[in-house]
Amino acid sequence: MAEEVILLDFWVSPFALRVKIALAEKGVEYESREEDLSNKSPLLLKINPVHKQVPVLIHNGKPVCESLIIVQYIDEVWNHKSPLLPCDPHQRAQARFWADFVDKKEWKRGKAGPGITLPVPDPRRHKSPHLRPRSPAGNPSPSPHPPQRGSGIPDSEKSL
């Protein structure tokens, strides 16, 4: 049986981006379904009735909610590739601490530090086919932007 992996997301969500990066690192093909957060789909409301938020990973019909939990799930299920977290328990705890710190302290403020605003990357502009949503057939969706020369970082983000 082929695995069915669906990600309910919103393109500007840094939490959905975290999940997309984990899926790309593990080489997992998935179907991306972008949610309209002002008019949430019945599917989102059904599978995440507590928070009613994205991202939600649906793996073979079973939903997993909350980005850090989804990343841990991805690491455990697709364990044929190198782990996303260090093997050493202390280093793993440190990585989890900083991920939690960013979630609780910095992203809620919208800051990376004193006077530094974090950019929100647009995965639709990303050149890697791994971070672009996949069609139901598993092929990367074509990028809506023509290829660019240079660093690939938008000018608005270069000042950081």
Q: Residue 117, SS3?
A: strand
Highest mean pLDDT among 12-16, 38-42, 146-150: 38-42
Instruction: Let me know if 67 is exposed, middle or buried by CB neighbors in 10 A (0-12, 13-18, 19+).
Output: buried
Residues 90 and 74: their CA atoms lie apart, in Å, by 21
Residue 124 has pLDDT above 80, yes or no: no
Using 50, 70 and 90 to split pLDDT, how confident is the model at 32?
A: very high
Calculate mean pLDDT across residues 123-127: 51
CA proximity to 51, closest of 13, 83, 86, 88: 13
Task: Render pLDDT for 69-98 as a digit per residue (tens, 0 to 9).
Answer: 999 999 999 998 888 988 899 998 998 888
Say what the pLDDT of residue 96 is.
86
The structural domains of the chain, ordered by start, are 5-85+121-143 (3.40.30.10)
Average pLDDT over the chain reads 77
Residue 112 and residue 106 in contact, taking contact as beta carbons nearer than 8 Å: yes
Residue 154 has pLDDT above 70, yes or no: no
Say what the pLDDT of residue 114 is.
47
If you search the block for the tokens 């793993």, which residue do you land on? 92
Half-sphere exposure of 54 (CA within 13 A, CB side): 26
Query: What are the residues whose beta carbons fall under 8 Å from the beta carbon of 107, sequence distance 6 or more?
Result: 14, 118
Calculate mean pLDDT across residues 102-113: 61
